[in-house]
Amino acid sequence: MNATDSPLLSRGMIAVICAQFLSAFGDNALLFATLALIKQQMYPDWSQPILQMAFVATYIILAPFVGQIADSFAKGRVMMVANGLKLAGALVICFGLNPFLGYSLVGVGAAAYSPAKYGILGEITSGEKLVKANGLMEASTIAAILVGSVAGGLLADWHIVAALAVCALVYGAAVVANLYIPRLPAAHKVASWHPRAMGRSFFNACVVLWRDGQTRFSLIGTSLFWGAGVTLRFLLVLWVPVALGISDNATPTMLNAMVAIGIVGGAGAAARFVTLETVKRCMPAGILIGVAVAFFAVQTTMLNAYILLLLIGVLGGFFVVPLNALLQERGKRSVGAGNAIAVQNLGENTAMLLMLGLYSLVVKLGVPVVGVGIGFGVVFALAITVLWVSQFRAK
């Protein structure tokens, strides 16, 4: 039976989902454990986003290469090597070396992992099942964010080195899980491994995808979403002590977990109600994300914070899953799935870098965290509105 004709929950898909859960669990637990470490080592508040900026910078630097690598080898094996790099980065931090250096190495692994994990979906499912496959991938990722974030915060409150060691063990388990992914043939062969030739090929893929109105729409939407998502995560770390008067490591992770739970629900709703032909149904949810963030910033009770973050998650899952599927389907036909995801990663991580840089700057300038949250929500809602209107005008 052809791989794309196999059932949605095939052996290969289950292996991919398990490997993704473990890898994403490690990523999120490690982030909060490392944040606790740099807090313990008395780094300033504005340096916290720098940790994530070092991580996303690797995506941008490696973008011209990782997509072509993912398409030139069996994607399951690429995922295995990438998780090995994440394991090495976690061990660097665990053994007391520079946390920014170790987290950057994890970023190298993540940059190589991403185009392979999404690109393989189109190889083990049919186009008809692709939105559902993306829903499963996002649900696995968000479940890992939920459990990993909470575990990272709780373990760091107990013992930071133990938290880092658990992260390393989880990455090791992810490497093992990757061995069970079927070894599918390479999608494309790279014409030349010379960096200049690979860079030229990547630039051509960027041009193809950004000239296509549908893939451009997807690239902008997902970039805005993930840039905002990572900024909200760091906003919560500073917002909790100010708004709720709580200064532990666990509470921000619990609040992040509410977003994760919501995204699982939103991803499921998107898989049920949105198809590749009706992708624009997700746009109102994107606008409402910004509105909900602005309302969230002025809350002072835990219950209201939980409810609004759950809502933000539901809206986020409904917004981003169809856009991912649209890019994978059209990108697979034009430049290859791995290349398409690498171009997407470039856009998303450039947005993250810019938003985190701006966030770090306003924190350093002393702007109140509540004001930062309100402004952040309003600007995001306006940006998605402009994107939606531009799609109507493009008809």
The pLDDT of residue 292: 93
| 168 within 8 A of 90, measured Cβ to Cβ | yes
The pLDDT of residue 353: 84
Q: In the chain, what are the domains?
A: 3-185+198-393 (1.20.1250.20)
The pLDDT of residue 1: 43
Spatial distance between the Cα atoms of 63 and 113, rounded to a whole number of angstroms = 11
The pLDDT of residue 187: 58
Residue showing tokens 């946390």: 99
Contacts of 330 (CB under 8 A, 6+ apart): 212, 214, 215, 218, 340
The pLDDT of residue 134: 72
Contacts of 35 (CB under 8 A, 6+ apart): 48, 51, 156, 237, 249
Spatial distance between the Cα atoms of 118 and 282, rounded to a whole number of angstroms = 20
Structure tokens, 84: 């090995």
Long-range interactions of 49-53: CB distance < 8 A, separation 24+: 49/231, 49/234, 49/356, 49/357, 49/359, 49/360, 49/363, 50/100, 50/360, 51/99, 51/100, 51/103, 52/230, 52/234, 52/352, 52/356, 53/352, 53/353, 53/356, 53/357, 53/360
The pLDDT of residue 227: 86
**46-49-53 Cα angle (round to 5):** 135
Give me the half-sphere count of Cα atoms (radius 13 Å) on the Cβ side of residue 333: 9
The pLDDT of residue 9: 66
Within the chain, what is the greatest distance between any pair of CA atoms? 61
3-state DSSP of the chain: CCHHHCCCCCHHHHHHHHHHHHHHHHHHHHHHHHHHHHHHCCCCHHHHHHHHHHHHHHHHHHHHHHHHHHHHCCHHHHHHHHHHHHHHHHHHHHCCCCHHHHHHHHHHHHHHHHHHHHHCHHHHCCHHHHHHHHHHHHHHHHHHHHHHHHHHHHHHHHCHHHHHHHHHHHHHHHHHHHCCCCCCCCCCCCCCCCHHHHHHHHHHHHHHHHHCHHHHHHHHHHHHHHHHHHHHHHHHHHHHHHHCCCCCCHHHHHHHHHHHHHHHHHHHHHHHHCCHHHHHHHHHHHHHHHHHHHHHHCCCCHHHHHHHHHHHHHHHHHHHHHHHHHHHHHHHHHCCHHHHHHHHHHHHHHHHHHHHHHHHHHHHCCCCHHHHHHHHHHHHHHHHHHHHHHHHHCC
The tens place of each residue's pLDDT in the chain, 395 residues long, gives 444 455 656 677 788 888 889 999 998 899 888 888 888 877 777 777 788 788 888 878 887 787 777 777 777 788 889 999 999 999 998 887 888 889 999 999 988 887 787 777 777 776 566 667 777 777 788 778 778 878 888 888 888 888 899 999 999 999 998 888 777 656 566 666 677 777 787 888 888 888 877 888 888 888 888 888 888 888 888 888 888 888 777 788 788 888 878 887 887 888 788 777 777 788 888 899 999 999 999 998 889 999 999 999 999 988 888 887 788 777 777 776 667 777 887 888 888 888 888 888 888 888 888 888 899 899 999 998 988 888 766 55
Spatial distance between the Cα atoms of 127 and 385, rounded to a whole number of angstroms = 29
| 137 within 8 A of 268, measured Cβ to Cβ | no
